[in-house]
Structure 1
Amino acid sequence: MTNSSLSRFNPAQPGAQGMKVVATGLLVVMAVVFGVTRYFEPQYPWLAYVKSFAEAAMVGGLADWFAVTALFRHPLGLPIPHTAIIPRNKDRIGEALARFLQENFLIPTVVARRMRNIDVAGAVGTFLQTPNQDEQSRIRSGASRLIADMFESLDDERLGGIVKGAIASRLRRTEISPLLGHALASAINEDRHVPMLEAGIRWTARALDANEPLIREMVHKKANWVLKLAGLDEKLADAIIDGLRKLTVEMSTDPAHPVRIKVEEALAQLANDLQTKLETRERVENIKEQLLDNKSVSLWLDTLWQKGREAIIKAARNPDAVMAGKLGEILKSMGATLETDPRIRKAINQFTRRAVVGLSASYGSSIVKLVSETVRSWDAQTVTNRLEAAVGRDLQYIRINGTIVGGLVGLVLHLLDTL
Structure 2
Amino acid sequence: MRRVATGLLVAMAGLFLVARFNAGGHPAWGYVQAFAEAAMVGGLADWFAVTALFRHPLGLPIPHTAIVPRNKDRIGDTLAVFLKDNFLIPRVVAQRMRGIDIAGAAGRWLTEGNATAAGGRMRYGAARLAANILESLDQERLGGMVRGALSGQLRRLDVAPLLGQALEAAIADGRHGPLMDGTIRRAARILESNQHLIRAMVHERAGAVLRWTGLDETLANKIIDGLEKLVHAMADDPDHPLRAKAEEGLAQLAHDLQHDPATQAKVARFKDEMLDNPALGNWWQGVWETMRAGLLRMARDPDAMMAGRLGEALRQLGTTLQSDPVLAATINRFARRAVVGAASDYGDAIVRLVSDTVRGWDAATITGRLENAVGRDLQYIRINGTLVGGIVGLAIHAIDGWL
Q: TM-score range by the shorter chain?
A: 0.5 to 0.7
Per the alignment, residue 268 of structure 2 pairs with 285
Q: Is the 8 A contact 2:111 2:319 kept in 1?
A: no
Length-normalised TM-score, structure 2: 0.54
Q: CA offset at residue 164 of structure 1?
A: 2.0
Going from structure 1 to structure 2, the CA distance change for 1:135 and 1:204 (only over 3 Å counts) comes to: same
Aligned-partner SS, 2:182: helix
Deviation at 1:32, TM superposition (A): 10
Are residues 1:239 and 2:211 paired? no
Q: Which residue of 1 aligns with 2:180?
A: 197
CA contact (8 A) 1:177 1:275 kept: yes
Q: Deviations over 1:180-200 (max 9, x none)?
A: 100111111111222222222
Residue equivalent to 1:218: 201
Letter in 1 for 2:159: I
CA RMSD of aligned residues (A): 5.0
Distance 1:244 1:331, change over 3 A: farther
Deviation at 1:413, TM superposition (A): 4.1
Sort the Cα spacing of 1:177 and 1:220 in 2 relative to 1 into closer, same or farther, 3 A.
Answer: same
Amino acid at match of 2:191: L
Is 1:407 aligned to residue 379 of structure 2? yes
Aligned: 1:260 with 2:254: no
Q: Secondary structure at the match of 1:239?
A: helix
Asked if 2 retains the 8 angstrom alpha-carbon contact of 1:128 and 1:331, the reply is no
Deviation at 1:405, TM superposition (A): 3.1
Deviation per CA, 1:140-182, whole angstroms, max 9, x where unpaired? 6655444333333233233333322222222112211101100
Residue identity opposite 1:283 in structure 2: K
TM-score scaled to structure 1, two decimals? Answer: 0.52
* 1:298 aligned to which of 281, 295, 298: 281
Counterpart in the other structure of 1:178: 161
Write the mapping of 1:61-140 to structure 2, written as runs, cut at 5 A. 131-134=110-113, 138=119
Q: Closer, same or farther in 2 for the Cα pair 1:325/1:309, shift >3 Å?
A: closer
The structure-2 alpha-carbon separation of the partners of 1:327 and 1:209, relative to structure 1 and needing over 3 Å to count, comes to farther
Measure the CA separation in 1 of the matches of 2:320 and 2:243: 35
Distance in 2 between the 1:319 and 1:223 partners?
Answer: 71
**1:208, 1:276 → 2: CA distance?**
35
* SS of structure 2 residue aligned to 1:286: helix
User: 1:252 deviation in Å?
Assistant: 1.9
Partner residue in 2 for 1:107: none
Residue 152 in 1 paired to residue 135 in 2?
yes
Aligned to 2:210: 227
| 1:410 maps to amino acid | R
Cα drift, residue 318 of structure 1: 3.8
> Which structure 2 residue ranges, 5 or more long, are not aligned?
19-31, 55-101, 331-367, 394-403
Quote the offset at 1:281 in angstroms. Answer: 0.7
Q: Which has the larger radius of gyration?
A: 2
The answer to whether the Cα contact below 8 Å between 1:131 and 1:323 also exists between their aligned partners in 2 is no
Distance in 1, Cα, partners of 2:124 & 2:375: 37
For the structure 1 residues 236 and 38, does the alpha-carbon distance in structure 2 shift closer, same or farther, using more than 3 Å as the test? farther
TM-fit CA distance, 1:210: 2.4
Q: Distance between the aligned counterparts of 2:312 and 2:389, measured in 1?
A: 74
Secondary structure of the residue aligned to 2:111 is coil
Q: Which one-letter code corresponds to 1:415 in the other structure?
A: L
Contact 1:315 1:322 in 2 (8 A): yes
Cα separation, partners in 2 of 1:250 and 1:133, compared to 1, 3 Å: farther
Cα distance in 1 between the residues matched to 2:279 and 2:217: 44
Residue 160 of structure 2 contacts residue 257 of structure 2 at CA under 8 Å; is this kept in 1? yes
Q: For 1:223-281, what per-residue CA distance to the aligned partner results, in whole angstroms no more than 9, with x for missing partners?
A: 22222211122222222222222222222221111122211111111000000011101
- Tell whether 2:243 aligns with 1:271: no
2:292 aligned partner, one-letter code: R
Indicate conservation of the 8 Å contact 1:181/1:272, yes or no: yes
| 1-structure distance, mates of 2:279, 2:107 | 36
Aligned-partner Cα distance in 2 for 1:223–1:233: 6
- Corresponding letter in the other structure for 1:265: E
In structure 2, relative to structure 1, the CA distance for the partners of 1:195 and 1:140 (3 Å cut) is farther
Q: Percent identity?
A: 40
State the shift of 1:42 in Å: 4.8
Q: 2:147–2:284: 8 Å Cα contact kept in structure 1?
A: yes
Q: Assess if the C-alpha contact under 8 Å between 1:204 and 1:248 holds in 2.
A: yes
